[in-house]
Structure 1
Amino acid sequence: MNNRKLQVWLPALFALVMVAGMYLGYRLRENTNTAGSFFRMEKKSPLQEVLDLVRLKYVDPINTDTLGDDAIREMLMHLDPHSVFIPASDLKNTNADLMGNFDGIGVEFQVFSDTVNVMNVLKGGPSDKAGLQAGDKLISADGKPLTKPNIQSEDIRVLLRGPRDSKVVLGIIRGGKEIKATVTRGRIPLPALDAAYMIEPGTGFIRISKFSETTYEEFMQSLEKLQALGMKQLILDLRGNGGGLLNEAIDMADEFLDDNKLIVYTEGNKVPRQDYRARRMGLFEKGDLVLLMDESSASASEVLAGALQDWDRATIVGRRSFGKGLVQEQYQLGDGSALRITVARYYTPLGRSIQKPYDKGVKIYQEEVSERFHNGEVLRTDTAYAVNGKIYNTKSGKKLYGGGGITPDVVVPIDTSLYAPVLSELYVKGTISNFVYNYYLTNKKELDALKGPSDLTGYLNNKALLPLLVDFAKKDSIRVPSLNAVQQNELELRTRNLLARQIWRSEGYFELSNATDPVVQQALKTLHQ
């Protein structure tokens, strides 16, 4: 009987004890000054207080989320040029480039005269399966028009991309007739490797455009393929490679460096030094290696180049790289946005910091590359200068410089005679791309019958491309004045190379353009020596 009474009253006793404990805890909190205790609410920052007051009191309706985003950006402007805030709406596209894929329909498009033209269709991709073709004009997506004046490429991507296995109904103009096509979206790869082929017997060429999650895997597949073809020397092209994931660059460096060699180390005010070393036997530790760089090569590209240069493992050919030596970490925020914040600097094995100065503000920092064109640096052929006056020496006695990018061992200046204003206008306005696209569609049957890029040169020898381009440019309100022989040749080469890209994608483009590229030709000369 006593046990039954206890069972009846036991829940009530537990409840009483709990209430008493909560009351005592509350009274203790009032008499405790411990900052950051469990019960104490953190004091709001002035920024949050202002946003709350605007939300509650401001005279007109206003989006305080936008105000908050702008305030965050302004705050980051006082840190460094590479700490950035990424809104939730942009995060997926921002991460897609690093992931090496996205969900979409698998077409390459370009806007000519406010019309979305399909330039290429990914073989075996969603659009290919739905029957889309190069030359199709996209006019709508799920009933939403794609032909609005001044429509932006990003607006088009938003309508064409979507979750995998979702469907989109496209309105298409083909041969003057309007048709519909339903495309089931799928995973679309974003390759990091633009080209890999034997540029001459015994010498391979690999071009890497970025360091994403798939870069090292793509590189290894190409390296093994070229070695099977007898590659003994390699040209690794990192021009225009703005970087990406540090670990991918470290893994690539490991394929070129032996023993336990230091590749890079990172260190920050709140982050202790961390060394990254070669860990395994590499596939290309002995062959001759030339690495190509220019003012657009940055971040992870500079890590790879710095390691190979410090260890006398590669000869760097080209022009001084961008100069980004800051390490970012990305943190997810509560509203789906993200903060990518600088946490450390990276240093080459010799201790070089490649980061160029940013103490004069973001604007001057961002304009530093264009300043190289104005002050004549890109015309120099010597390397006898140090960006910050500090000189480092490799074991072989070679002098290297820190504090402003990677200075090449062999400099190849820009030939300004090839950059007539009209050539730039033809490129910026997209006139050459539009001409090449239309020329391909007009001669598609003949061009698709060519076996490879080398056949294109012979095919075009009997074609007068330049007069056709000049006439086409007139329709685009561009008058092409008299060009000298060098400029005419350059225009014809650019047109031919873009046509190769239209037919054979990036690999075809580089196979042809490398034959006349002065940086690549210098790399071959360096290897021969």
Structure 2
Amino acid sequence: MNNKKVQVWLPLLFSLTMIAGMYLGYKMRDNMPGKSFFYTEKRRPVQEIMDLIQNKYVDDVKIDALADTAITAMLNKLDPHSVFIPAEKLDGINEDLAGKFYGIGVEFNIYNDTINVINVLKDGPSFKAGMQTGDKFLKVEDSTVAGNKIDGDRIRKLLRGDKGSKVDIVFLRGTEQKKVTVTRDAIPLYSLDASYMIGNGVGYIKLNKFSQQTYHEFMDALLELKKQGLQKLILDLRDNGGGILDEAVEIADEFLPGDKLITYTEGKHVAKKEYRCRREGQFEKGALVVLANEGTASASEVLIGALQDWDRATVIGRRSFGKGLVQEQFELSDNSALRLTIARYYTPVGRSIQRSYTNGEKAYYDEISNRFHDGETQSADSVKNDKSKVYKTPGGKTVYGGGGITPDYFVALDTSGFSISTAKLYAKNVPANFAYQFYLQNTASLKNYKSPADFIKNFAFTEDNWKSFTTTAAKDSISIDTVSVKEKADIINRIKSSIARQVWRTEGMVEVLNTDDNTIKKAIEVLQ
């Protein structure tokens, strides 16, 4: 009898137990991570509108492109450095930060609708396959790449690929057609443009960004210069737009003693984090000059700010960009990414050098171009320091926050040799194109120069060479017969630097350009 009663009530007991469990689960949902299972978050109007457009709009719509536009519009309400990175652009950005990509190891330019190899990476994939400077691409796999208006982005996509993958290339050398199979491999994206001894114990290092390889490249260069008698150093960070914060911190540690504070970061959802020196540096006592200009930003400003605040370096040049925000990159489900500002960084004395962006992104970036128009790049008296944010270094020097880093010595932008004619020359890349052809015609004699310094001392750009160049410029409808003596000297120096680049790549170019650089001259003067 009792068993029959249990059987009658058992379904009801199960039902009550299940209902109780559901009720408790519902009540506990707010304490559960992710509020999952029974919880359904209210849909936002943004998603509702996207669904309505997709399902009701009169015409076909590329909904993904529309969503990207909506995301960008949202981020424009935040700050200029919070950005959405579409999936198709993410690989290139990540490669730049990683300091490498996978490809065939050539530099190229497009002349007369033909891809010309202007440099082959020594010991790289193309070098091993036998390709040379001056080769002209005809086909990559099944794609014809000559005479069909190909652009740089398309040829890069054809040449890059996974490590170990192969690509067939048909090219022209002189009048002979050749074919090679190149195996793709890692190609470095160097952040160090040049390092060499100028003389009298003065060394020079130029960094163009801060990637995952920058500190390693910097240390190799610094230790090599020390072997050559380095006593004083010029660190050139002009037009270095920044990159990975930790790399700049590691380099700062090589210049600063003890456990000195290098920078600290702090945000609404990010706890304060200090970055301090952790070891004995390789150049803590030698005289140090750092070069900066309006293109010097972010991680570069972290490094300069630490050296200036501790009275460790003399800063020469022009006011830096003024970016004091820290971004973190978040990967999204469709392989795109969000680079979101999560904190501000501060220099050791507590200054944020971030410029105001309250008037919107356009006004924010226009401020840089306005420096060229309102006289700031020509006169130290026109530099717009934020006088409401004044700080003192331990040595008593006045420094400013709120608008980049102001140099200790101002050097005006040299515009004396820059007319409309020369502007057209550089816009059409005429000096570099001429230098490439000059290199092809004089390869044997140019290889007799042992180094960029030897080239600077002994190479002469003759009057016949100049006449040949004016003829080349005329083919592009540019007349330079009446340029000033100063302009002519500047153009010749650009051509010589481009020739040096063909022989010694970026290091040769920088070393030649530096011979006529007023900021370099001022740095040497200050050091001596």
Counterpart secondary structure, 1:490: helix
- Measure, in 1, the Cα distance between the counterparts of 2:247 and 2:419: 38
Q: Do structure 1's residue 351 and structure 2's residue 361 form an aligned pair?
A: no
Counterpart secondary structure, 2:459: helix
- Measure, in 2, the Cα distance between the counterparts of 1:381 and 1:135: 46
Q: CA deviation at 1:18?
A: 10
Residue of structure 1 equivalent to 2:110: 111
Q: CA deviation at 1:437?
A: 0.7
Do the aligned partners of 2:26 and 2:38 also contact (CA within 8 Å) in 1? no
Q: CA deviation at 1:383?
A: 8.2
Q: CA deviation at 1:24?
A: 5.5
Q: CA deviation at 1:124?
A: 0.7
- Measure, in 1, the Cα distance between the counterparts of 2:20 and 2:171: 72
Q: CA deviation at 1:356?
A: 0.9
Q: CA deviation at 1:248?
A: 0.4
Q: CA deviation at 1:400?
A: 1.1
Deviations 1:56-115, CA, capped at 9 Å, x for gaps? 333433321111111111111111100011111111111101101000110011122222
Do the aligned partners of 1:465 and 1:492 also contact (CA within 8 Å) in 2? no
- Measure, in 2, the Cα distance between the counterparts of 1:280 and 1:124: 35
Do the aligned partners of residues 88 and 33 (structure 1) sit closer, same or farther apart at CA in structure 2, a change above 3 Å counting?
A: closer
Q: Do structure 1's residue 338 and structure 2's residue 337 form an aligned pair?
A: yes
- Measure, in 2, the Cα distance between the counterparts of 1:526 and 1:444: 39
- Measure, in 2, the Cα distance between the counterparts of 1:31 and 1:255: 57
Counterpart secondary structure, 2:416: helix
Residue of structure 2 equivalent to 1:521: 521
> How is 1:103-142 mapped onto 2 (pairs within 5 angstroms)?
103-142=102-141
Amino acid at match of 2:237: L
Residue of structure 2 equivalent to 1:55: 54
Counterpart secondary structure, 2:270: coil
Q: CA deviation at 1:201?
A: 2.6
Amino acid at match of 1:515: T
- Measure, in 2, the Cα distance between the counterparts of 1:242 and 1:27: 56
Do the aligned partners of 2:417 and 2:484 also contact (CA within 8 Å) in 1? no
> How is 1:189-200 mapped onto 2 (pairs within 5 angstroms)?
189-200=188-199
Amino acid at match of 1:420: S
Deviations 1:16-52, CA, capped at 9 Å, x for gaps? 9999976654566678885935421222222222222
Amino acid at match of 1:139: L
Do the aligned partners of residues 30 and 517 (structure 1) sit closer, same or farther apart at CA in structure 2, a change above 3 Å counting?
A: closer
> How is 1:479-490 mapped onto 2 (pairs within 5 angstroms)?
479-490=479-490
Do the aligned partners of residues 340 and 503 (structure 1) sit closer, same or farther apart at CA in structure 2, a change above 3 Å counting?
A: same
My pick for the range that moved more, 109-118 or 348-357, is: 109-118
Do the aligned partners of 1:388 and 1:403 also contact (CA within 8 Å) in 2? no
- Measure, in 2, the Cα distance between the counterparts of 1:242 and 1:230: 30
Residue of structure 2 equivalent to 1:147: 146
Deviations 1:470-507, CA, capped at 9 Å, x for gaps? 10011122222401111111111111111111111111
- Measure, in 2, the Cα distance between the counterparts of 1:57 and 1:508: 61
- Measure, in 2, the Cα distance between the counterparts of 1:148 and 1:350: 59
Residue of structure 1 equivalent to 2:226: 227
Amino acid at match of 2:271: P
Deviations 1:323-360, CA, capped at 9 Å, x for gaps? 11100000011111110000111111111111111111
User: How well do the aligned residues superpose, as a CA RMSD in angstroms?
Assistant: 2.2
Do the aligned partners of 1:329 and 1:342 also contact (CA within 8 Å) in 2? yes
Residue of structure 2 equivalent to 1:503: 503
Amino acid at match of 2:56: K
- Measure, in 2, the Cα distance between the counterparts of 1:431 and 1:77: 38
Counterpart secondary structure, 2:305: helix
Counterpart secondary structure, 1:366: helix
Do the aligned partners of residues 461 and 426 (structure 1) sit closer, same or farther apart at CA in structure 2, a change above 3 Å counting?
A: closer
Q: Which runs of 5+ in 1 are unaligned?
A: 1-15
Q: Which runs of 5+ in 2 are unaligned?
A: 1-11
Q: TM-score, normalised by structure 2?
A: 0.92
My pick for the range that moved more, 445-454 or 215-224, is: 445-454
Residue of structure 1 equivalent to 2:75: 76
> How is 1:71-470 mapped onto 2 (pairs within 5 angstroms)?
71-147=70-146, 150-382=149-381, 386-457=385-456, 458-462=458-462, 464-470=464-470
- Measure, in 2, the Cα distance between the counterparts of 1:328 and 1:334: 19
- Measure, in 2, the Cα distance between the counterparts of 1:384 and 1:40: 56
Q: CA deviation at 1:151?
A: 3.3
Counterpart secondary structure, 1:97: helix
- Measure, in 2, the Cα distance between the counterparts of 1:247 and 1:522: 30
Q: CA deviation at 1:448?
A: 2.0
Identity %: 49
Counterpart secondary structure, 1:239: coil
Residue of structure 2 equivalent to 1:5: none
Do the aligned partners of residues 28 and 384 (structure 1) sit closer, same or farther apart at CA in structure 2, a change above 3 Å counting?
A: closer
Counterpart secondary structure, 1:408: coil
- Measure, in 1, the Cα distance between the counterparts of 2:491 and 2:320: 27
Deviations 1:97-150, CA, capped at 9 Å, x for gaps? 110100011001112222211110001111111111111111322111323655
Q: TM-score, normalised by structure 1?
A: 0.92
- Measure, in 2, the Cα distance between the counterparts of 1:317 and 1:18: 81
Amino acid at match of 2:483: L
Do the aligned partners of residues 40 and 441 (structure 1) sit closer, same or farther apart at CA in structure 2, a change above 3 Å counting?
A: same
Number of aligned pairs? 513
- Measure, in 1, the Cα distance between the counterparts of 2:374 and 2:361: 19
Counterpart secondary structure, 1:111: strand
- Measure, in 2, the Cα distance between the counterparts of 1:56 and 1:378: 54
Amino acid at match of 2:422: L
Counterpart secondary structure, 2:39: coil
Q: CA deviation at 1:196?
A: 1.1
Counterpart secondary structure, 2:433: helix
- Measure, in 1, the Cα distance between the counterparts of 2:148 and 2:250: 46
- Measure, in 2, the Cα distance between the counterparts of 1:69 and 1:245: 26
- Measure, in 1, the Cα distance between the counterparts of 2:461 and 2:27: 91
- Measure, in 2, the Cα distance between the counterparts of 1:19 and 1:125: 72
Do the aligned partners of 2:501 and 2:509 also contact (CA within 8 Å) in 1? yes
